Amino acid sequence: MEFKTKQKIEAKIPTSSMSDIIFLLLIFFMVTTIFKMEEGLPIVLPRAKSGTQQERERLVHIWADRFNRISINDKLVRIKDIHIIIARKLEDNRSLIVAFNVDHRAKYRLVSNIMEELKDANAVNVSFTSIYQEEGP
């Protein structure tokens, strides 16, 4: 007795339209995906509400602007000279207060470098000054 063998049908997946489908899916995901730009935290610096006047003999003003210019008591200096100048002034007056004024558009790297120079000069009385802003309606 002979058994009839079934003809085997090959299962073929049509691949000719596969690339079209993949391309359409790619376009769909590109159009519908929203890429959000990572933003840093907003920094809002505090404003002074009140202050006290200090004697001029006890104060040294350091100004730093957004163009990386630094002045000590209205004389332009290099950043490397800050600790030498402040150390000399501290020898004369140990109760010296360093008033540190920085433009709000200055780079933080400049502020950090000046603070390191003040630390090297052992300046412990550092006052960060700000512009007085009246509260209003």
pLDDT in tens, 80-91: 999 999 999 999
19's tokens: 């690339």
- Judge contact between 30 and 77, C-beta under 8 A: no
Please spell the DSSP secondary structure of 46-63, one letter per residue: --BS------GGGEEEEE
Mean of the pLDDT values across residues 20-48? 83
Mean of the pLDDT values across residues 46-73? 80
Q: What is the pLDDT of residue 48?
A: 66
Task: Please state, in angstroms and rounded to a whole number, the distance separating the CA atoms of residues 121 and 86.
Answer: 6
> Which range among 17-21, 24-28, 48-52 has the greatest average pLDDT?
24-28
Percentage of the chain beyond pLDDT 90 is: 34
Q: What is the pLDDT of residue 114?
A: 93
Q: Rounded mean pLDDT of the chain? A: 83
With the CA atoms of 48, 52, 57 and 59 taken in that order, what torsion angle do they form, in degrees rounded to the nearest 10? Answer: -20
Its CATH class, for the domain covering 58-128, is alpha beta
- Judge contact between 71 and 79, C-beta under 8 A: no
Helix (H) or strand (E) run with residue 72 in it = strand 70-72
* Closest-CA residue to 72 (of 91, 99, 43): 99
Higher pLDDT, 125 or 8: 125
